[in-house]
Amino acid sequence: MEIDPKTAEKWLSVLKTSGIVHLLQPYFKNITKRLTKHPKLYFMDTGLAAYLAGWTTSKSLESGVSSGAFFETFVITEILKSYFHNGKNPQLNFYRDSDGNEIDLLIYQNGNYYPIEIKKHGTPGSDDIKAFKTFAKKEPIGYGCEICLTSDLQPLSQEAMAMSVWDI
């Protein structure tokens, strides 16, 4: 069954307006290019997303093929909610370039971008944040972090640390 693009846009508009989904826009210096690139869609309720995807047990969410995507969704939505609950409108983007460099979340504040990488593992490493250096050639960046399942704060470089998901 094929859905007309205008119908899909209307449905998406209802989901966005009702706060069920959030579209995270890509970073591009060129605004025109930003408008042609696709945003990432995040369900603001990971329980609803899991139900709709047919992931009905905690075990399937923990170790299933989409567990990393659900973990990323959880982190992104918790950060969004912290802004919304404080009456702030966050300036958030994600970064992906043609060379495969990707940063899950960029928080723009006070003239700097603060890069965040999200990984569902407990062993963070400097390889996880290698795209930070690539992005720093384009824009000024602040201190970055990797949010993961580590139990303690851990330095990854002079410009970034790893922190537990439970600290966000």
Q: pTM for this structure? A: 0.90
pLDDT for the residue numbered 2: 87
CA dihedral 82, 64, 42, 29 (to 10 degrees): 100
pLDDT digits (tens, 9 = 90+) for 102-156: 999 999 999 999 999 999 999 999 999 999 999 999 999 999 999 999 999 999 9
- How many other CB atoms are found less than 10 A from the CB of residue 160? 25
Averaged confidence pLDDT in the chain: 91
pLDDT tens-digit readout, 21-43: 999 999 987 655 544 578 999 99
Alpha helices in the chain (DSSP H): 5-17, 31-36, 46-53, 58-63, 67-85, 130-136
Q: What is the largest CA-CA distance in the chain?
A: 52
CA–CA separation, 114 and 117 (whole Å): 10
